[in-house]
Amino acid sequence: MSRQTGHERGELALIRRLRDRLVPPRAAAGGVPFGDDMAELLPGAGEWLWTVDLLMDGVDFDSRRHEWRVIGRKAMAVNLSDCAAMGVQPVSALCAVCLSNRLSMDDAEALIAAADECGRRWNCPIVGGDTNSWDAPTVISITVAARPEADYQPIRRDGAQRGDRVWVSGKLGGSLLGRHLTFEPRVDLGITLARGLRPHAMIDISDGLALDLGRIMSASNVGVVLSESELAEVVHSDAERLALQDGQPASAHALHDGEDFELLIVLPPAVSETTARGLGLLPIGEVIAEPGLWQMGSHGDRTPIPLQGWEHFR
Ligand SMILES: [Mg+2]
């Protein structure tokens, strides 16, 4: 809590406004109401998974360029993307914000309400949190609790095996042109894959295809050969637009740009191409025993791909 009376009054007023908006639908009759010391979950049996993200103005977003509702939506969506990556259903969110004193009450409400609206779309409302203010840039942190939809294990990064095929859920690169703010977390697809196809490994592409694929490779102790021709098929038109601006190859944007938030999926070879393509997946390569990331040309020639991607402290 802020110790300054003026801020305290402001904070209480904000909480009152939020209380009217944020109604936890799972609060049972007689359960703990919103705004008490803790939020109540009615967990039932089975396992729970948790994820948290921290976004800072000037580092992860820029409030001079982006609207607060857009920032709030993204703060929730990045957490939901992590749920998608494990094939689990998000259930409830906690939201902690340190608001810059320069924010108006309307801005603060827009930020948190947009996060809640985004969560709600995937059945993951904000059920509690904390709001402080200070004379510094705004910081927002959202924590999400999730669980498998039915009787299956969450999909991890460490199960890729030689001979598996590597797929992505959509085209990649150039998200900087706007998609990094408007992406749809692939929650439903992640659950469908986890239930139906049991991927050997899965991750969401937050830091770039090469870097996130590298995470699967090192966790699974395998390598991957990407097909040059298949890679060409997953280059997003935004990657091509960005390539025209900066002179980099569009395929480099597809490989190394961050914040696509598509799923990167490793499927056993028994899953047919028809089945995978039927879910909108696009093939990009194959898992090999030998460590390293490679690109294979049409003549079978292999060139190494550097495991570079999005750097948080550029
Ligand atoms: Mg992730």
User: Parallel, antiparallel, or unpaired: how do β-strands 165-168 and 263-267 relate?
Assistant: antiparallel
pLDDT in tens, 99-142: 999 999 999 999 999 999 999 999 999 999 999 999 999 999 99
pLDDT of amino acid 25: 53
pTM of the model: 0.88
User: Parallel, antiparallel, or unpaired: how do β-strands 292-296 and 302-304 relate?
Assistant: antiparallel
pLDDT in tens, 199-247: 999 999 999 999 999 999 999 999 999 999 999 999 999 999 999 999 9
Q: Please, are residues 222 and 289 in contact by the beta-carbon 8 Å criterion?
A: yes
CA separation for the pair 225, 227 (Å, rounded): 6
Distance 78 CA to ligand 1 centre (A): 8
Distance 82 CA to ligand 1 centre (A): 4
pLDDT of amino acid 9: 59
Q: For residue 314, is pLDDT > 70? A: no
- The mean pLDDT value for 182-197 works out to 96
Specify the residue for token string 């699967």. 216
pLDDT in tens, 70-98: 999 999 999 999 999 999 999 999 999 99
Q: Please, are residues 185 and 262 in contact by the beta-carbon 8 Å criterion?
A: no
Distance 59 CA to ligand 1 centre (A): 18
Distance 155 CA to ligand 1 centre (A): 12
Q: For residue 177, is pLDDT > 80? A: yes
Distance 80 CA to ligand 1 centre (A): 9
Show the tokens assigned to 176.
């900087």
Q: In what order do the strands lie in the sheet with 139-148?
A: 49-56, 139-148, 88-100, 126-134
pLDDT band at 286 (very low <50, low <70, confident <90, very high): very high
pLDDT in tens, 132-144: 999 999 999 999 9
- What single-letter amino acid sits at 198? R
Question: Residue 255 in 3-state DSSP?
Answer: helix
Distance 205 CA to ligand 1 centre (A): 7
Q: Please, are residues 141 and 96 in contact by the beta-carbon 8 Å criterion?
A: yes
Show the tokens assigned to 198.
């049991």
